[in-house]
Chains A and B, each alone.
Chain A
Amino acid sequence: MSYVAIKGGGRAIAGAAAVTEYLRTEEGLGNPDAEPLEIDAILHQLRHLVDRVVSEGGVYHPQFAALAVKQSLGDTLEAAFALRAWRSTRPRLSATPPLDTSRMRLIRRISSAFKEIPGGQMLGPTPDYALRLLRLELMDESPEAFRAVARDWLENCREAQLPDSYPKVLDALRAEGLLPPVAKTRRQTAFDITREPLVFPVPRSAALATMARAETGSLLAIAYSNMRGYGDVHPTVAELRVGYLPVLLPHPVTGELAEAGEVLMTECEVVAMYAAAEPGGKPQFTVGYGACFGHNEVKAISMAILDRALQKGMQDGPANPSEDPEFVLLHVDGVDSMGFASHYKMPHYVTFQSDLDRLRTTQQKSGEPA
């Protein structure tokens, strides 16, 4: 008998790890100029990949995110996973108060609701209007040309007088009474999904936190279902902003807030069709909110749409999957869902044996040959 059930697991694991490392490094065999990917190169040249991993990993550590990208050979799910597992080993020592995003140092800010917004539209870095043509000149980019591009841009950059912060577009709508005022009674301490389990119904801050570190593709797919028919949110982007948000932490001795650093983040506020807050009440626009680490616009927009859909579902009862908090929040986490999908690769001999027993018995009873 040659097949003895799954023996030699330890050696098999070591072999699998070794051959993966071989694939990572094999370029060096035939190419004496091959150089290992530097973390800095990933951080700067694959910034959207790093941003995605930082966001889905749920911890703002771009350098470790870049390392995770490197060791996972560019698999975003695996990379976010490694970052999250590292986060599990860190105790939570402090929490910031809610941070005021009007203090963001912006690199990009647009509104599709108004032509003119206080502070103005700012396109910033975006591929939105780029023609998706392959730039064949990048096939073999020389280091000189590479450096020249950045240098030229800086030299030709006009000195601009930019304000330190920009007012929020929604504040203007609120001042006009088109939006409900921010509720004074809302819970000021955010629900920490890394320290408390989700028990439904959950507060909105738990839903927002879950979506903030959700897998981008999952969030987009469910938000898209709402946009194109299985839902009723017709959003207008009141404001989409990308920038660096100063992070304030209470000083360990004095307790006074001190700036501990800044995080790059994307924030999106959408305005949806109006509804009366209560029967007979004054009709007002409704709002959806999305925010996540890194420059991830599609994620922030999807999150804002789903936030609106979920609020509607919680108020009126869910009419479609994207309005059902359990459906959305329990299925958007990349680490959870990829882990479970992967686990099907593990042996299921015992349960399958039990399945066989049931099928054979059932077949016998129905008179078919076993």
Chain B
Amino acid sequence: MNAMPHTTGGNAYNFGFLDEYAKKEIRRAVLKAIAIPGYQVPYASREMPMGRGFGTGGLQLTLALIGPGEVVKVIDQGSDDSVNAVNLRRFIEMTCPGVSTTTRTAEASLIQSRHRIPERPLTPTQILVLQVPYPDPLVVVEPSEDKRKIMHGEADYSRLLVKLYEDIVQFDEITISHRYPTRINGHYVIDPSPIPRWDVPRLDHAAALTLFGAGREKKIYAVPPHTRAEPLAFSDVPFRVEDFRDEAGRRRACARCGCTDSFLDEFSSDAGEKVYQCSDTDWCDEKLLRKESLRGEAA
């Protein structure tokens, strides 16, 4: 792009854009985050050449962790082809010569994502980097960071539980839709980034390391592999994921690949009717491919 003509010509920018001191600091913060699961490690987030809130926290993690031989995938809303995902991926390609990118979840060693955890279960050799706009789940009950730090230290989440309880009293339902507060390893409660509730259970005892980067709020935290991740709930009001059943109680299917066990995006077709489709486009493509090859064999 015109914004960065130097990278192709000369060595105007360092590998991974950031200078080495910045990358080292981020890697140190990552180590601390892994050592204390769920704890928000402050770091001196650098300004990136794209908007704060567009994934600069995730990008700083990605750029600090990336090395030669890495295969990177970037997702936004489940899609590799959305404008922001394309933009971030192109920036990584531009500033990390020699690194390859992919849209296939299975092939990627490093996945940076906004709003989704891929449907396909991740493996121990993969790292998932989630972009985070609001790192602290307590912000809804306490605006002061100084006070929130004490509450986290004491694992005092009573006000958060009261909020959930008030929801039940008022609406007969917990109204938190995404960013569902999740307790990690029995202590710190994290904001698991704006992933839908659908994705939260997949953090629990996951095989892959999940890292969270909040660039604007300058925090890094982690859910290490094989670590407990429990969404806050009550014994009589359990945690529930999004419901994709139709009026008759049948699970809706993706209009494209027919999948009935993935998170679906809902939209209106030109004819005005409601259509559902997998939000994870790589998952959808893969299902479609398998379906077509099966059909091919049958024919």
Contact = CB atoms under 8 A, between A and B. Distances in A.
Nearest to B54: A343
A9 B1 CA distance: 14
A2 interface: yes
Query: Which 8 A-B pairs give the minimum distances between C-beta atoms?
Result: A339-B52, A343-B53, A9-B86, A197-B42, A339-B51, A354-B177, A85-B49, A84-B47
Interface residues of B, number: 73
B77 interface: yes
A201 interface: yes
Interface of B: 1-3, 13-14, 17-22, 25, 42-49, 51-54, 56, 76-79, 81-87, 90, 115-116, 133, 143-146, 171-173, 175-179, 194-198, 216, 218, 242-243, 255, 263-267, 269-270, 275, 277, 279, 281
Contacts of A9: 81-87
Interface of A: 1-3, 5-10, 12-14, 17, 21, 81-82, 84-85, 87-92, 193-201, 326, 330, 335-344, 346-351, 353-358, 361-362, 365-366
Contact of B177 (A2, A201, A336, A357): A357
A82 B48 CA distance: 9
Given A13-B86, A342-B54, A351-B177, A197 B45 contact: yes
Given A340-B52, A347-B77, A355-B178, A1 B47 contact: no
A1 to B, nearest CB: 5
A195 B48 CA distance: 14
Nearest to B174: A358
Contacts of B197: 354
Contact of B172 (A337, A338, A349, A366): A366
17 contacts: A9-B83, A17-B2, A88-B18, A91-B19, A194-B46, A200-B144, A343-B54, A347-B82, A348-B115, A349-B77, A349-B279, A350-B77, A351-B179, A356-B266, A357-B242, A362-B171, A362-B173
A350 B53 CA distance: 16
A339 B2 contact: no
Contact of B47 (A8, A81, A346): A81
Contacts of A346: 53-54, 76, 83-84
B269 A351 contact: no
A89 B52 contact: no
B172 A85 contact: no
Contacts, number: 187
A339 B1 contact: no
Contacts of B145: 200, 326, 330
A357 B281 contact: no
Contacts of A361: 173, 243
A268 B52 CA distance: 30
A186 B205 CA distance: 49
Determine which residue in A17, A347, A354, A362 has the highest number of CB atoms from chain B within 10 A of its CB, and name it. A354
Contacts of A350: 77-78, 115-116, 178, 194-196, 263, 265, 279
Specify which of B21, B177, B198 lies most central, judged by the most chain A CB atoms within 10 Å of its CB: B177
B1 A354 contact: no
Given A2-B270, A326-B145, A350-B265, A355 B177 contact: yes
Given A335-B52, A350-B196, A5 B177 contact: no
Contact of A354 (B51, B178, B270): B178
A324 B54 CA distance: 28
A131 B34 CA distance: 62
Given A89-B14, A197-B44, A366-B172, A339 B81 contact: no
A88 B195 CA distance: 29
B83 A85 contact: no
Contacts of A6: 77, 79, 81-83
Contacts of B116: 350
A351 B195 CA distance: 7
Contact of B53 (A92, A200, A342): A342
B23 to A, nearest CB: 11
A44 to B, nearest CB: 26
A339 B53 contact: yes
A3 B270 contact: yes
Contacts of A362: 171-173, 175
Given A343-B52, A355-B177, A89 B87 contact: no
Contact of A89 (B19, B45, B266): B19
Contacts of A1: 255, 269-270, 275
Given A3-B267, A3-B269, A351-B177, A200 B146 contact: yes
Nearest to B22: A88
A12 B83 contact: yes
A197 B146 CA distance: 14
Contacts of B178: 350-351, 354-355
Nearest to A325: B146
Given A17-B1, A84-B47, A201 B146 contact: yes
Contacts of B13: 89
Contacts of B86: 9-10, 13
B265 A5 contact: yes
Contacts of B194: 348, 350-351
Contacts of A194: 44, 46
Given A3-B267, A9-B85, A200-B146, A358 B45 contact: no
Contact of A358 (B176, B198, B270): B176
